[in-house]
Amino acid sequence: MLVTISHSQPYGVSDAAILMKSILADPNVDYLSPQLYSSGYEADNDFAFIGTPWSAYATTKARIVPSIVTGSYYPDAVRYFAANGVTLTGYIQWKQGA
């Protein structure tokens, strides 16, 4: 199963931190895709986090495949997440191909 998250944890959810802990611990989650954008028009990845630090993603068995605006942003994501102890396994591109 693939779960996508708005930035580091769901927003607009009163128990988002608890929900995020459950998602990170759930053995049924195969892929976790944090969205590194808000509008889809960012010139760079947006690593804003809301409550759950990015380093918490290192605790999950799920493969981390961030949703990014365009594939050219992937090397930046790899560096950022590696600095937080998280290994990425590919990405999902938001921007549609031409």
Is residue 56 situated within a structural domain?
yes
Is residue 28 situated within a structural domain?
yes
Average pLDDT over residues 88-98: 87
What total of structural domains would you count in the chain? 1
Is residue 98 situated within a structural domain?
no
> What is the reported pTM?
0.91
At 61, which amino acid appears? K
Is residue 82 situated within a structural domain?
yes
Residue 69: domain span = 2-93
Other residues' Cβ atoms within 10 Å of the Cβ of residue 43: 7
pLDDT of 98 > 70? The answer is no
Is residue 24 situated within a structural domain?
yes
Question: Which pLDDT tens digit goes with each residue over 20-66?
Answer: 999 999 999 999 999 999 999 999 999 988 889 999 999 999 999 99
pLDDT confidence band for 70 (50 / 70 / 90): very high
In the Cβ-directed half-sphere of 63, how many Cα atoms lie within 13 Å?
Answer: 9
